[in-house]
A = this chain, B = another copy of it.
Amino acid sequence: MKPERGPLRVALLGCGVVGSEVVRLLREQADDLAARVGTPLELAGVAVRRPERVRAGVDPALVTTDAQGLVTRDDVDIVVEVIGGIEPARTLMLEAMKTGKSVVTANKALLAEDGATLFAAAREYGADLYYEAAVAGAIPLLRPLRESLVGDHVHRVLGIVNGTTNYILDQMDSGGAGFNEALEEAQALGYAEADPTADVEGFDAAAKAAILAQLAFHTPVTAADVHREGITEVSAADVAGAKGMDCVVKLLAICERVPSEGGRNGRGVSVRVYPAMIPRTHPLASVREAYNAVFVEAESAGSLMFYGAGAGGAPTASAVLGDLVAVARNVVGGTPGPVEVTYAKLPVLPMGETVTRYYIHLDVTDEAGVLATVAEEFARHEVSIQAVRQVGLGEEAQLVVVTHRAPDAALSAVVEGLRGLDSVREVASVMRVEGEE
């Protein structure tokens, strides 16, 4: 039907962990790719920092340090950006789109910080901008959210989107290790980097939460909008407490539509990343080691979960190739794919207004009336208690309290208040409880 056209020419920016696997797949899957696109995909050039490095399977003649020149070349149809970071990635992608090229990227940091600029450019120049690999690596997640659930109404997205922290928390849960010990093991096994800040402090998860919230709720969200708490403070006692509740501690990225009285869109969205307890019966609870999974609750589709490897060169490259084929088909067909829409423009609500539940573990003095004093503190902030359990006696006396749902501001005011009580010797553990209705 369509006239035959020559091969589509792909410029690859970056040839590291992900880029080198993209090169491999372009070669190994060449026939399948050509069959799906309708014409072969051809590597036009590979931009790197250190051109002298030997790169398996890469024709040295294609390697260049002139990324800027490469993205503006006339014989390039599509640009794949796997350099990472804000600059020069942003400028290169903007240049590419300005000269009519479509872009595939895995760059979560950039999308979460300044996605709006990129989406605006895509719209202005009629270019595609695809980024499946930016969230949860190989797991096909953004495309289903964007395309399959387009006729549905997403209420909530709950995700384990960082493999490093899931590995650490899983070790703490199964082996009883403390955070530092589990982190060292993760580093030794290559699951955590030498500087683990981006992972353990939740920055990586927050970037992904912003991208997911934007897609799920058609509303602009940046990483800076995301309430973020990492896992460095999670103690063996927290994990043991979770076990006692038949729960497990996971670092969750949560994107939630906050309902309003009238109107289907709700009065805003809550986007947050923190360690929380979820029941062991929740599908996310069985996500072990460095795997990722994202649980989506939609009005008609109900509960969905997407599970798989969240990182790694080959899995991430698999997602890049999926996008590359979609973009290539659009180039061949002459129509760009769906552009990011943020027409809902819902406000991102502050954490204090987010409604959640707390688990609070207190070391208390063993006197008559302690429970009454503690309960009084909850009542003062209009937080109602779902269950309370007293453990031990004397010096060891402890109270475990689980609240009903309440605004986070009220819950944290309760914790402040408890800290000030004479009968409370220590607030040993505070953790949010998620994944229940």
Contact = CB atoms under 8 A, between A and B. Distances in A.
A78 interface: no
A85 interface: no
Contact of A308 (B126, B143, B304, B317): B304
Nearest to A304: B308
Contacts of A338: 36, 329
B300 A148 contact: no
B307 A305 contact: yes
B143 A147 contact: yes
A149 interface: yes
Contacts of A309: 301-304
Contacts of A324: 151
A150 B367 CA distance: 66
Given A144-B140, A335-B334, A308 B302 contact: yes
Nearest to A286: B286
Given A302-B309, A315-B301, A341-B36, A148 B152 contact: no
A300 B335 contact: no
A179 interface: no
Interface string A316-339: 011111101110010001110010
Most buried by B among A32, A132, A293: A32
Contacts of A35: 218, 341, 343
- Count of this chain's copies in the oligomeric assembly: 2
A318 B306 contact: no
A1 interface: yes
B318 A152 contact: yes
Interface residues of A, number: 59
Given A143-B143, A307-B283, A21 B300 contact: yes
Most buried by B among A36, A140, A286, A307: A140
A312 interface: yes
A415 B32 CA distance: 41
Nearest to A320: B151
Given A138-B301, A304-B307, A148 B341 contact: no
Contacts of A4: none
A300 B322 contact: no
B300 A138 contact: yes
Interface of A: 1, 21, 25, 28-29, 32-33, 35-36, 126, 132, 138-140, 143-144, 147-153, 218, 264, 283, 286, 293, 298-309, 312, 314-315, 317-322, 324-326, 329, 333-335, 338, 341, 343
Given A32-B153, A147-B325, A302-B309, 8 more contacts: A28-B264, A36-B341, A140-B143, A140-B149, A148-B322, A300-B321, A301-B319, A305-B305
